[in-house]
Structure 1
Amino acid sequence: MEAVKWLALLSMTIDHANRFFFNMAYYSAYCAGRLAMPLFAFILAYNLAQPGTFERGLYSRVLIRLLIFGVLATPAYMAMRHLQGLYPLNIMFSLAASTAALYYYEEGGGVNKSISLFIILLGGLFAEYDWVGIIFCIASWSYCRKPSIQSLLACIVAYMLLDLINNNYWALLTIPIILLATKIDLRIPRIRYLFYVYYPLHLSVLYLLKKGVDYLS
């Protein structure tokens, strides 16, 4: 999964550089960027779905990290999107909503499952990729946790909805990438917290570079 993570980081960086410096003028860069969200969502879902992760408290630790680094990334993210307000919140909050919803679902019981549904509905209102991003992450988690026809169909529906948001089908390219990742064992060193730190850091660096270019031009 480390190779998939690096590919997702590259895809995201290309997309964000295109937004900062070229106002999304390069469609090929936009298409390359459509790989990032499903790859990040799948990596999160895959890790959370591993046996014993809930009991070890991974869900709550991941949720806290996502919220902290999501907040840190917000100013540069707003600048990239030319937002006048906070919404939509960046992808960290979409992943955080997915994690929180899964946490309460795993807690079990009618009340906790109702809270899980409420988080999904609320998160979809405010986060990037709205409900589609959250549905995609939860569907991927369900399939990784216990592969079935139902969970596979949920993933297919999530991909179809994602294609509608993107207005293209490039996200589908992540399917063979994910399948290959489960078959090929690439020995890539794991850098802990890489994604969490990289997300606000690269946005801030791109923002400062853009300001520098604008100042010199």
Structure 2
Amino acid sequence: MRVSNAALTAIKYIGIAAMLLDHYNSFVKAEYSPLLYEIGRLALPLFVFVLGYNLARVPVAKIPKIMLRLLLFGLLATPLYNILDAGLWYWWPLNILFTLLVACATVYLLAVPVPQRFVIAVRLAALLFFIGAGSMVDYVWLGPALVVVIWRLSVTASHCERVSLYSALSLLAVLLCLLNESLAALLAVPVIWLSLQFYRDRQLPRMKWFFYWFYPGHLLVLLLLKQLLSG
């Protein structure tokens, strides 16, 4: 795949908008809206597409930096998310930044070059980490698994492997729809395709840190708005 920076940025912005509407609907809106819930199902597949593709094009040595950012902003957002969701001491599942963090760590363990005698041990560590950490995050194992599959699709040229990966991607999409009890996540496919076509030769400012700051920032705004409306 060849995806422009502008297309990735557009996909990320659409995902952010879907997430914002979903969180407003879940945490603030007085009357729950099924339509906003369906729109919110777009966020995860759009985010995992962007992350999976980006992990395929950055050097493996830079992945820990991405992991550190996700960890720091995930921790910053946790109390805000918990208060909005079910109270300060309610921690499970960890928010979406930790879902993306588990995906990055798994990809790192699968991709990092190691001496041949340690390959099996490191790959086994990736599997065990994925199983253990994936059980604690939003969307459980589905979110990280989608990132890993998209990452592999973006780096492999083997036809046989691509067929297997597309089959895995289809299965994960079905499981995601079952988890959501909605087919709306599948709309991410035309959204991604249209973004790739429209932004093939266009430019958008990347705003590298925007997503990281936006996540805790929008939770703080929603919390203040919720308290204002309830007061």
Coarse TM-score class (shorter-chain normalised): over 0.9
Q: What TM-score does the superposition give when structure 2 sets the normalisation length?
A: 0.87
Does residue 191 (structure 1) correspond to residue 191 (structure 2)? The answer is no
Please give the residue correspondences for 1:111-130 in structure 2 after superposition, counting only pairs within 5 Å.
111-130=121-140
What is the CA–CA distance in structure 1 between the aligned matches of 2:211 and 2:111, rounded to whole Å? 25
Offset from partner CA, 1:97-128 (integer Å, 9 cap, x none)? 01001101112511111111111101221000
Report the identity percentage.
33
Report the AA paired with residue 11 of structure 1.
A
What is the CA–CA distance in structure 1 between the aligned matches of 2:179 and 2:134, rounded to whole Å? 13
Offset from partner CA, 1:105-155 (integer Å, 9 cap, x none)? 112511111111111101221000001111111111111222611111111
Structure 1 residue corresponding to 2:167, chosen from 144, 153, 169? 153
What is the CA–CA distance in structure 2 between the aligned matches of 1:8 and 1:62, rounded to whole Å? 19
The equivalent residue for 2:59 is 53
Report the AA paired with residue 172 of structure 1.
L
What is the CA–CA distance in structure 1 between the aligned matches of 2:186 and 2:146, rounded to whole Å? 12
The equivalent residue for 1:211 is 227
For the residue of structure 1 that corresponds to 2:208, the secondary structure is coil
Question: Whose relative contact order is higher, 1 or 2, with alpha carbons under 8 Å and at least 6 apart?
Answer: 2
Does residue 180 (structure 1) correspond to residue 194 (structure 2)? The answer is yes
Q: What TM-score does the superposition give when structure 1 sets the normalisation length?
A: 0.93
Moved over 3 A (4+): none
What is the CA–CA distance in structure 1 between the aligned matches of 2:128 and 2:44, rounded to whole Å? 22
Task: Give the conservation status (yes or no) of the 8 Å contact 1:24–1:30.
Answer: no
What is the CA–CA distance in structure 1 between the aligned matches of 2:40 and 2:217, rounded to whole Å? 18
Does residue 90 (structure 1) correspond to residue 95 (structure 2)? The answer is yes
C-alpha change, 1:181 and 1:53, in structure 2 (3 Å) is: farther
What is the CA–CA distance in structure 2 between the aligned matches of 1:145 and 1:30, rounded to whole Å? 33
C-alpha change, 1:6 and 1:24, in structure 2 (3 Å) is: farther
Paired residues, number:
212
What is the CA–CA distance in structure 2 between the aligned matches of 1:24 and 1:119, rounded to whole Å? 39
Offset from partner CA, 1:51-107 (integer Å, 9 cap, x none)? x521xx221111000000000010111122215421110011111001001101112
Task: Give the conservation status (yes or no) of the 8 Å contact 1:104–1:115.
Answer: yes
Does residue 202 (structure 1) correspond to residue 222 (structure 2)? The answer is no
